[in-house]
Amino acid sequence: MRILVIGSGAREHALVWKLVQSQRVTQVYAAPGNPGMLPYAECVPLGATQYQELATFAEQQHIDLTIVGPEVPLVDGIVDIFQQRGLATFGPNAAGAALEGSKAFAKEVLTAAGIPTAQHHTFTSATAAFTYLEEHGAPVVVKADGNAAGKGAIVALDMATAHDAVKQMLVERVFGAAGDSVVIEDYLQGDEIGATAICHGTHYLPLTLSQDHKRAHDGDEGLNTGGMGVFAPLSFVPPEQETSIWRTIIAATLQALKQRGILFTGVLYSNIMLTERGPMVLEHNTRFGDPETQAFMLLMREDLLNVLNFAEVMPVKQETLWHPGSAVSLTLASGGYPGTYRTGIPISGIEDANQLEGVQVFHAGTTLRDGQLVTAGGRVLSVVARGATLPEAVQKVYEAVKYIHFEGMHYRKDIAKRDLHIK
């Protein structure tokens, strides 16, 4: 099979890395891809939002399957465009991706289906939002309805922050159209986890639970980021609770979508808070997580194509889906990230780190400048290790990092502490 992967981050690098190990895959293209993929994929100079050009490329190159990484093309309807041209894709159409693209739509689906989520109200008028805040008080979470590149949710522990968030979104319009409407929801406390499933209509294959580390610094301090590291599976979640999450959140969401005439195909990756009142959905994502996918691809034993097509190549058994043990991904970020940072800084040591058994380094924000690999983004590399146990995976990942260097590099030193019981 000839596969096209759309996207340029470490998530897409990990997907490409895994796909080329499949016996059924003869050629992988990535658009636009990244330098880390060059040893095994052909990078095509087309951006992830050049939909018609990408479809033309897929036609001309007789691509059998296009896998879409990021959310923006999905929300924009790349799958609908490809389908209209008779091209096979993996990912939801625009109607399905609205579950991620519109927080108000997601809340409507969740509430109608009785899936636990934070109480919320949607506002398009700043005056109405301010009045609600006065009545409700803090803490709350203020969210831009549309896609704001991961920066659209502001956790406001006090009124001043809440007021400011509403002002930024509805008055100053810092998120543009994404902030045309704003969701204000109750603040939930607990352990935040991810649940990822591959879905075909109402059929789904549960992958695994995982935990991301969203804040920039150790001890969950600092600003929210795109994700500083992930570990999977989770031993702190009891098996009964996990089973209940698949049934009452994932299956129930797919059913609720079907009732609206939406047959959801692709990844459903739900962000869940384990509260005292039970698991509650923070948000639904309709694509693979980043850096979740990097850890998943190292942990996955089954051919990824079989996993994506599980509905046709049944049965994909949980026992053969994964290697035993745990996987950890760790983000190496530019100095200053998630604030401003410099780019173009030389990177060294990746080859040495890759020599370690069970370690794989995926590129997140890199580029080649005169043959030298340099930084090109906030999240630069995603270092992943698999171990027979979680402590072994954690130890390996930090061992691998010792080989890698770029000026200003920073990373979390406390990945997986929730399951390692490090205080």
In the sheet with 182-186, reading across from the earlier edge strand, the strands are: 120-123, 182-186, 140-144, 153-156
Q: Which of 107, 213, 214, 287 binds ligand AMP (CB under 6 A)?
A: 214
Q: How many chain residues touch ligand AMP (CB under 6 A)?
A: 14
Which of positions 119-148 make contact with ligand AMP (CB under 6 A)? 141, 143
Contact indicator for 286, 97 with CB cutoff of 8 Å: yes
Asked if 169 interacts with ligand AMP (CB under 6 A), we say no
Q: Does 162 bind ligand AMP (CB under 6 A)?
A: no
Segment near ligand AMP (CB under 6 A), from 19-27, 157-165, 180-188, 242-250? Answer: 180-188
Angle (nearest 5°) at CA 49 between 272 and 3 = 80
Which one of residues 271, 306, 343, 354 is an interface residue with ligand AMP (CB under 6 A)? 271
Question: What DSSP assignment string belongs to 139-178?
Answer: SEEEEESS--TT--EEEESSHHHHHHHHIIIIIS-TTGGG
Write down the least CB distance from residue 383 to ligand AMP, Å.
22
109 binds ligand AMP (CB under 6 A): no
Position 377 contacts ligand GLY (CB under 6 A):
no
Q: Name the minimum Å distance from CB 185 to ligand AMP.
A: 5
Query: With binding defined as CB under 6 A, does residue 192 bind ligand AMP?
Result: yes
Out of 145, 185, 212, 302, the only residue in the binding site for ligand GLY (CB under 6 A) is 212
For residue 185, the Cα-to-chain-centroid distance in whole angstroms is 22
Contact present, 196 and 205 (Cβ < 8 Å)? no
Which of residues 114 and 346 has its CB atom nearest to ligand AMP in the complex? 114
Task: For residue 187, state whether it binds ligand AMP (rule: CB under 6 A).
Answer: yes
- Footprint (CB under 6 A) of ligand GLY, residues 271-290: 285, 289-290
Least distance to ligand AMP, CB of residue 187, Å:
4
Minimal distance in Å, beta carbon 376 to ligand GLY?
19
Which residues are CB-contacts of 70 (< 8 A; sequence separation ≥ 6)?
A: 6, 7, 9, 48, 287
CB of 193 to ligand AMP, least distance (A): 10
Q: Closest Cα partner for 20 from 10, 7, 29?
A: 29
Nearer to ligand GLY, 36 or 227 (CB): 227
Closest CA to 283 of 208, 188, 165, 157: 188
Contact of 181 with 248, CB cutoff 8 Å: no
According to the binding rule CB under 6 A, does residue 294 interact with ligand GLY? no
Residue 50 found at the interface with ligand GLY (CB under 6 A): no
What is d(CA 196, CA 206) in angstroms, rounded to the nearest whole number?
Answer: 6
What gap in Å lies between CA 207 and CA 343, rounded to an integer?
35
**Other C-beta atoms lying within 10 Å of the C-beta of residue 145:** 25
User: In the range 336-355, which residues lie near ligand AMP by CB under 6 A?
Assistant: none
Whichever of 63 and 237 has its CB closer to ligand AMP, that residue is 237
Rule CB under 6 A: say whether 227 interacts with ligand GLY.
yes
Strand partners of residue 379:
333
Q: Are 40 and 63 in contact (CB under 8 A)?
A: no
| Alpha-carbon gap, residue 62 to 83, rounded angstroms | 14
100 in contact with ligand GLY (CB under 6 A): no
- Collapsing DSSP states into helix, strand and coil, what is residue 84? helix
Burial track 398-412 (b if 16+ CB lie within 10 A, e otherwise) = eebbebbebeebbbb
Neighbours of 324 (CB within 10 A): 10
Q: Whole-number minimum distance, CB 150 to ligand AMP, in Å?
A: 7
Least Å from the CB of residue 269 to ligand AMP:
11
User: Whose Cβ is closer to ligand AMP: residue 217's or residue 323's?
Assistant: 217
- 82 near 66, Cβ under 8 Å? yes
Length of the chain: 423
The nearest distance, CB 147 to ligand AMP, in angstroms, is: 10
Omega within 30 of 0 (cis) for the link into 279: no
Tell me the site size for ligand GLY, rule CB under 6 A: 6
In the list ligand AMP, ligand GLY, none, the entry touching 13 (Cβ below 5 to 8 angstroms by class) is none
User: Contact region for ligand AMP (CB under 6 A) — 181-189, 308-316, 372-380, 382-390?
Assistant: 181-189
| Maximum pairwise Cα distance, the chain | 61
Residue 214 beta carbon to ligand GLY: minimum distance, rounded to whole angstroms: 7
Q: Using CB distances below 5 to 8 A depending on partner kind, what does residue 188 bind out of ligand AMP, ligand GLY, none? A: ligand AMP
Summarize as ranges the residues that interact with ligand AMP (CB under 6 A).
Answer: 118, 141, 143, 153, 155, 185, 187-188, 192, 214, 224, 271, 282-283
Q: Which residues bind ligand GLY (CB under 6 A)?
A: 212, 227, 285, 289-290, 292
